[in-house]
């Protein structure tokens, strides 16, 4: 797969497209299966196709998804993710409304991730023999300067992109894999609110 186009989401409208919970669900379904139609989504999400078509067009408008070339007949449209690495703009470059949207999107994503982690533990325990070959977790810590931190982040992203592939490009036996990485500085003593 070619290297993803890197794009920083800087305008509030593009950010706002991610604040609708149904759009987040649509993106998760596309991430899971690679391609969807409003009809396949309606079956999974319990929504009508008209509502889903509207939200799919909004996600297309802001560049998150695209038509699958040469697929679909008549009014049926198949959708997939664009080959874009989305990064939220630096909050310092946004106005107050933009920063509020970044906070809203970030909080929603972290809540989804927390839910996923709880689900992963339950699923892993129930299906250990099936899932253990593709499950791992790690906790680590180190001391980094800001420059080293940015280099670490770049190396991490390069690794993720090296293995990135769409469903239709994946080898037999592939499964969707969620990858999450969090890194943040330990609170400084003056910021530490622990007792």
| CATH number where 159 lies | 1.10.10.10
Alpha helix (H) ranges present in the chain? 12-16, 21-33, 38-45, 49-61, 96-126, 128-131, 146-163
CA 145 and chain centroid, separation: 27
Residue 1: pLDDT band (50, 70, 90) is very low
The whole-number pLDDT of residue 19 equals: 81
Predicted confidence (pLDDT) at residue 113 exceeds the cutoff of 80: yes
178, part of any domain: no
pLDDT for 34:
84
CB 167 within 8 A of CB 142: no
Q: Which residue has the higher pLDDT, 7 or 184?
A: 184
Structural domains in the chain (count): 1
63 is a domain residue: yes
| Contact assessment for residue 7 and residue 63, using Cβ atoms and an 8 Å cutoff | yes
Does residue 188 lie within any of the structural domains? no
Tell me the per-residue pLDDT of 25-63, one tens digit each, with 9 for 90 and over: 999 899 888 889 999 999 999 999 999 999 999 999 988
The mean per-residue pLDDT over the stretch 110-134 comes to: 83
On whether residue 131 sits in a domain, the answer given is yes
- DSSP per-residue string spanning 45-83: H---HHHHHHHHHHHHHTTSEEEPTT---TT---EEE-S
> With pLDDT > 70 as the criterion, what percentage of the chain qualifies?
86
* pLDDT digits 0-9 by tens, 178-195: 888 878 788 776 655 544
**Mean pLDDT of the 97-124 span:** 83
**Looking at the predicted structure, is the pLDDT value of residue 14 above 90?**
no
Region 134-138 average pLDDT: 81
- Asked if the structure places residue 192 within a domain, the reply is no
Kindly state whether residue 66 falls inside one of the protein's structural domains.
yes
Domain that holds residue 74: 5-169
Q: Is the pLDDT of residue 175 over 80?
A: yes
pLDDT reported for residue 183: 81
If one compares 139 and 42, the residue with the highest pLDDT of the two is 42
Confidence at residue 6, expressed as pLDDT on a 0 to 100 scale = 53
Mean local confidence (pLDDT), 156-174: 84
Question: In this model, does residue 114 exceed pLDDT 60?
Answer: yes
Average pLDDT, the chain: 82
Q: Which residues contact 144 (CB under 8 A, 6 or more apart)?
A: 152
Residue 195: what pLDDT? 46
């Amino acid at each position: 797969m070619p290297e993803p186009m890197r794009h920083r989401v800087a305008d509030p409208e593009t950010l706002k497209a991610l604040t609708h919970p149904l759009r987040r669900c649509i993106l998760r379904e596309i991430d899971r299966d690679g391609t969807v139609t409003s009809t396949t989504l309606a079956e999974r999400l319990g929504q009508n196709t008209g509502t889903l078509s509207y939200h799919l067009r909004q996600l297309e408008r802001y560049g998150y998804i695209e038509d699958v070339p040469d697929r679909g007949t008549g009014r049926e449209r198949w959708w997939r993710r664009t080959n874009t690495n989305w990064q939220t703009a630096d909050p310092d470059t946004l106005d107050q409304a933009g920063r509020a949207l970044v906070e809203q999107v970030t909080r929603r994503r972290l809540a989804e991730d927390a839910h996923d982690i709880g689900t992963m533990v339950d699923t892993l325990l129930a299906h250990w023999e099936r899932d253990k070959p593709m499950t791992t977790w790690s906790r680590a810590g180190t001391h980094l300067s800001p420059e080293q931190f940015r280099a670490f982040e770049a190396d991490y992203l390069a690794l993720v992109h090296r293995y990135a592939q769409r469903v239709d490009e994946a080898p037999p036996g592939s499964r969707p894999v969620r990858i999450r990485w969090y890194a943040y500085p330990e609170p400084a003593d003056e910021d530490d609110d622990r007792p």
